[in-house]
Amino acid sequence: MIRPAPEAEVTIRLMRHEDLGHVSDIERRSYDFPWSHGVFRDCLLAGYQCVVLERDGDVAGYAILSVAAGEAHILNLCVEPAFRSHGYGERMLDEILFRARTSSVREIFLEVRPSNMHALALYKKKGFYQVANRPKYYQAHEGREDAAVLAKKLITES
Ligand SMILES: CC(C)(COP(=O)(O)OP(=O)(O)OC[C@H]1O[C@@H](n2cnc3c(N)ncnc32)[C@H](O)[C@@H]1OP(=O)(O)O)[C@@H](O)C(=O)NCCC(=O)NCCS
């Protein structure tokens, strides 16, 4: 697969309110049924672990993790369309897995559309496996689409 040009400087940091314009823009260009600006704002206000990936100083992706009672949920993971297949999705996933482990999470979950082959390939590569199917979970252009529920057990430090 394509890998980043050596000159691209990539960092992952916590999301800030001033990132929300860029984040919402990437979201709108990435999903047929995108989250609104307000949903991202609420995630920040709720104290979810929200990170952005910066490429040469510009936001090029984001991930959102909620943690409670030893479990975590990946609520969103998205890379700017122009910069996909550069390893950035995997880097953000590694970052949120690290954050989950340091928050003493024992198991991490997410929902994904069964039609989302690239995301499924990424999650399977990182050791997630399907634990359930939620019928008609997602909005779709015709009717509803099921969600595959994936999980991964984490080994924590404590
Ligand atoms: C899913 C997504 C986050 C992957 O990010 P990415 O930066 O393009 O992925 P990476 O370059 O880090 O690839 C990591 C792995 O994902 C899989 N993958 C990513 N893109 C792929 C593609 N085009 N074809 C096949 N597998 C792919 C591969 O397993 C890859 O590992 P490899 O490079 O060793 O083959 C990205 O496609 C995206 O933002 N999609 C839209 C939003 C979305 O659907 N998010 C998931 C919601 S659950």
141-153 residue pLDDT tens: 999 999 999 999 9
Look at residue 156 in the predicted model and tell me its pLDDT: 63
Residue 125, phi then psi, degrees to nearest 5? -60, -35
Burial of 120 (0-12, 13-18, 19+ CB in 10 A): middle
Q: Give yes or no for residue 122 CB within 6 A of ligand 1.
A: yes
Does domain 10-153 correspond to CATH entry 2.60.40.420? Answer: no
Residue 5 — pLDDT band, cuts 50, 70, 90? low
Residue with tokens 């559309």: 113
Q: Give yes or no for residue 119 CB within 6 A of ligand 1.
A: yes
Predicted structure pTM score: 0.95
Q: Which amino acid belongs to residue 110?
A: L
Known catalytic residue at 7: no
65 phi-psi bin (left φ>0, alpha ψ -120 to 50, beta other):
beta
For ligand 1, atom 5: residue with the closest CA: 89
84 C-alpha to ligand 1 centroid (Å): 7
3-state class (DSSP) for residue 66:
strand
Known catalytic residue at 123: yes
